[in-house]
């Protein structure tokens, strides 16, 4: 009768972490931030070039005129796109910056919801998903 040895699990001796399936969420967040930022830049340029493109009724409240919102969307859009690109470095600072700029963009879109309700709601939802992806799965970005 032969004796069989029990199977043992493989032990990793080095400190490297293997990438998990969740690393794709960080890639998704980075790509979405670059797309959202690009759309914000377009939104800002349109508001700067044509003040009458966005129709604001008497019941709608904006804190700035549309030129001010145009500049705000332009600057926020560039920062969001750059932060999205920074996520691909896997650095901790990029994750912090991405969360901050996604949250700022969501708040800016919340203030712009009276001008573009559907688009602003979609962007706010995407910003929430990006923040979730970076906060929950951000530490796995360095495991690539």
pLDDT (0 to 100) of residue 90: 82
User: What is residue 26's predicted lDDT score, i.e. its pLDDT?
Assistant: 87
- pLDDT per position as a tens digit, 56-81: 666 555 556 777 878 888 999 999 99
pLDDT above 80: residue 40: yes
How many angstroms separate the Cα of 3 from the Cα of each of 10, 77, 115? 21, 67, 76
Q: pLDDT band at residue 129, thresholds of 50, 70 and 90? A: very high
Angle, CA of 107, 109 and 111, to the nearest 5°: 75
pTM (predicted TM-score): 0.73
| 134 Cβ contact list (under 8 Å, min separation 6) | 26, 29, 87, 95, 98, 99, 102
Residue by residue, DSSP assigns 74-103 as: HHHHHHHHHHHHHGGGT-HHHHHHHHHHHH
Give me 7's structure tokens. 């199977």
């Amino acid at each position: 009768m032969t004796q069989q040895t029990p199977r043992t699990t493989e032990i990793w001796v080095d400190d490297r972490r293997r990438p998990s399936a969740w690393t794709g969420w960080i890639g998704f967040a980075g790509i979405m931030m670059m797309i959202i930022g690009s759309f914000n830049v377009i939104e800002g340029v349109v508001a700067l070039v044509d003040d009458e493109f966005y129709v604001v009724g008497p019941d709608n409240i904006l804190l700035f005129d549309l030129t001010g919102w145009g500049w705000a969307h332009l600057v926020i859009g560039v920062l969001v796109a750059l932060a999205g690109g920074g996520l691909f470095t896997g650095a901790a600072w990029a994750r912090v910056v991405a969360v901050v700029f996604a949250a700022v963009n969501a708040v800016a879109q919340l203030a712009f919801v009276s001008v573009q309700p559907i688009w602003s709601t979609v962007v706010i939802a995407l910003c929430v998903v990006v923040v979730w992806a970076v906060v929950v799965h951000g530490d796995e970005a360095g495991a690539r």
